[in-house]
Amino acid sequence: MGQGEKKKGMKSDEGPAPQDAHKCCGCRFPLLVALLQLLLGVAVATVAFLMLAISPSLLARETPHWAGIILCLVSILGLILYCITYHPDERNSMQFIAKLLYFVLCTIGLVISVLVMAFAGHHYSQASHFSCKEVGEDCVCILDPEDPIARTFTYAGVSDCEVITGTLTLYFLLQIVLNLAQALVCAVGAFIMWKHRYQVFFVGLQIGSPSAQQWQKV
């Protein structure tokens, strides 16, 4: 009897199983965040190339395909993090570097998305007030027809000015929405990396584990 009680007491002091000790939210990178980044990056780049197909006169800040490509690279790094087996950061320098790089790229992606939204909002407000006319194979637009020194915008290769005042304006609005979602996802990804690095939080607490139940009774 005494030996049985002693064994039971020793078993209760062992605590949770070692393989469950590191089951935290950041140990397996959330797949949903990386997939959302990939989908949004592809969507932003696709819309930008569609805008570029309207006229070769559009500038790089008006067709932000670079923002979508950067987010695709961030999502690929997130998928790599998802596939990495968890080790404490101090025991795996490559994992720590990958997490730090992902955090930095998410922060850069957030800043880039905000810049794209600012450019797209500015061009949207301009295009929605354009007064355009067709000149040969080009479309020449002006903000204020009554102003003799008003700035003119020439879009080469556009035979129908309705594309500028209608389709292009819609693309600018779509870029604002997509980059807003992209900025939010980048912020979530950066927050997950920060939370996992500087705060400890566990999932499940091993409530279903028999050893955990015995440990909780002590």
Give the pLDDT confidence of 172-205 residue by residue, as tens digits.
Answer: 999 999 999 999 999 998 888 877 665 543 434 4
pTM of the predicted model, to two decimals? 0.72
Region 63-75: mean pLDDT is 92
- Quickly state the pLDDT bin for 61 (edges 50, 70, 90): confident
Are 191 and 103 in contact, with CB atoms under 8 Å apart? no
As a whole number of angstroms, the distance between CA 98 and CA 62 comes to: 32
DSSP H or E run through 135: strand 131-135
| Cα dihedral value 55, 59, 60, 65, nearest 10 | -30
Per-residue pLDDT of 110-137, as tens digits, reads 999 999 999 999 999 988 888 888 888 8
According to DSSP, the residues that pair with 140 across neighbouring strands are 133, 154
Q: In what order do the strands lie in the sheet with 152-155?
A: 131-135, 138-142, 152-155
